[in-house]
Amino acid sequence: MGIARKVVDKTAINEEEAISSSSTGLALDLFQDVYKELLSIESVGDIEIVFTNHESQTGKRHVDLVRFKRLK
């Protein structure tokens, strides 16, 4: 079970939660795996990603924050 799944499981149904590289303590490049996991969880209908923020400091436009709503 990855970081994203743990955060989703702790979130109440119909509630929104945010997860970021800083809240997980991960470097931006490692946080991309968390983002991919969230996309996978969204693809099976457990969450809806409502916002993604792309950083601009590195020029790589990494995702550094994701807000999602738990659906089930």
- Per-residue pLDDT reduced to its tens digit, 9-43: 999 999 999 999 999 999 999 999 999 999 999 99
Q: Point out which residues pair with 18 in neighbouring strands.
A: 67
Band (67; pLDDT cuts 50, 70, 90) = very high
Render pLDDT for 35-57 as a digit per residue (tens, 0 to 9). Answer: 999 999 999 999 999 999 999 88
User: Any idea where the domains of the chain sit in the sequence?
Assistant: 3-70
In 3D, which of 30, 21, 24, 27 has the Cα closest to residue 3? Answer: 24
pLDDT given for residue 58 in this prediction: 84
Q: pTM of the full predicted structure?
A: 0.94
Partnered with residue 54 across adjacent β-strands are 63
